[in-house]
Amino acid sequence: MADEILATVPVLRFAPSPNGALHLGHAYSALMNERIGADTKGRVLLRIEDLDRTRCKPQFEAAIVDDLAWLGLRFPPPRRQSEHGDDYAAALARLDQRGLVYPCFCSRAEIARAANGQRDPDGAPLYPGTCRALAPAEARDRLARGDKAAFRLNMRRAIDSNPARLCWTEFGEGAIPTQHPAAPEVWGDVVLRGRDLAASYHLAVVVDDALQGVTDVVRGRDLLAATAVHRLLQALLGLSEPRYRHHRLVLDLTGEKLSKSRQSWSLAELRATGLAPEGVRAALGFCSGAAVGPAVEFG
């Protein structure tokens, strides 16, 4: 754990990916950032997590800004991940210099077969470390001839090189902090740079938070387990440790988390029905009065 959390004006960030329209779950997270920023007299930044240039589109980013303004949320000009590949490359190089990174040439199908049903906390096949055993000369030859590779963290070596006990300061949605133990090993050798991406989510979010001076990370509980990986990377790179506030998730009436992949109702669709922003705020518990918006559940 870092020696101290910066005692400056709190800095928070809302960080959507422009690969689809915002839904009520995004609204809840954005409004929670607004509330905590106001309560702590901090400021909230907007980050556009657009590393996946295939799925992320400028029109989705424009719609995100429009939806947030409709909710009454305005931010300084955002940081776009697509414009900061050099920052991620520098962090990856630092880890590589310590012998903590290796190229992985396995396809998704090969990983799924080799995982034998084991899963990481996100439910993806747990990578068994196949390419970790490749001789360095063979790996260099394959890269030289143009074989595509992802770059993975050697998890066991990374943990061994950081003997301090890893944990993080967790507030949830309350005011009383607890020390949450970190167990990054359950993720296996996570990807730090994809075959066609400048960085994975794990590496990019850690670098971005540090460069933007983020002191408080407010995000959904679905990212609670990933925080263990982020704390390890922060320790390895000598970066400051933010406070973490993992909030509840907005569920649909079947009890499932709202998501773009499930085609959950977007804010734009709700707006088209004539719903006012006050209705969304009330439905999500962010203003007094009747919840005239859609019925929601939390989990």
pLDDT in tens, 37-95: 999 999 999 999 999 999 999 999 999 999 999 999 999 999 999 999 999 999 999 99
Residue 261 has pLDDT above 70, yes or no: no
Averaged pLDDT score across all residues of the chain: 92
Contact in structure between 239 and 3 (CB atoms under 8 Å):
no
pLDDT at residue 256 in the model: 67
Q: Is the dihedral of CA 47, 49, 51, 52 positive or negative?
A: negative
pLDDT at residue 187 in the model: 98
pLDDT at residue 2 in the model: 40
Residue 280 has pLDDT above 60, yes or no: yes
Res. 251 pLDDT band, cuts 50 70 90: confident
Is residue 102 helix, strand or coil?
A: strand
Question: What is the residue extent of each domain of the chain?
Answer: 8-80+249-299, 84-237
Q: What percent of the chain has pLDDT over 70?
A: 90
Q: Cα(189)–Cα(158) distance, rounded to whole angstroms?
A: 10
Residue by residue, what is the 3-state secondary structure of 199-223?
A: CCHHHHHHHHHHHCCCCEEEEEHHH
pLDDT digits (tens, 9 = 90+) for 87-113: 999 999 999 999 999 999 999 999 999
Q: For 164-174, what is the mean pLDDT?
A: 94
Residue 292 has pLDDT above 60, yes or no: no
pLDDT at residue 296 in the model: 65
pLDDT at residue 278 in the model: 94
Res. 194 pLDDT band, cuts 50 70 90: very high
- Which CATH number describes the domain made up of 84-237? 3.40.50.620
What residues act catalytically? 260
pLDDT at residue 4 in the model: 44
Residue 254 has pLDDT above 80, yes or no: no
Contact in structure between 109 and 157 (CB atoms under 8 Å):
no
Is residue 298 helix, strand or coil?
A: strand
Over the range 70-86, which residues count as b (16 or more CB within 10 Å of their CB) and which as e?
A: bbebebeebbbbeebee
pLDDT at residue 299 in the model: 65
Q: Could you count the other beta carbons within 10 Å of the beta carbon of residue 152? A: 23
pLDDT digits (tens, 9 = 90+) for 221-238: 999 999 999 999 999 999
Res. 288 pLDDT band, cuts 50 70 90: low
Residues whose CB falls within 8 Å of the CB of residue 212, separated by 6 or more in sequence, listed in order: 11, 13, 45, 47, 79
Res. 5 pLDDT band, cuts 50 70 90: very low
pLDDT at residue 294 in the model: 56
- Which CATH number describes the domain made up of 8-80+249-299? 3.40.50.620
pLDDT at residue 89 in the model: 98
> Same CATH topology for 8-80+249-299 and 84-237?
yes
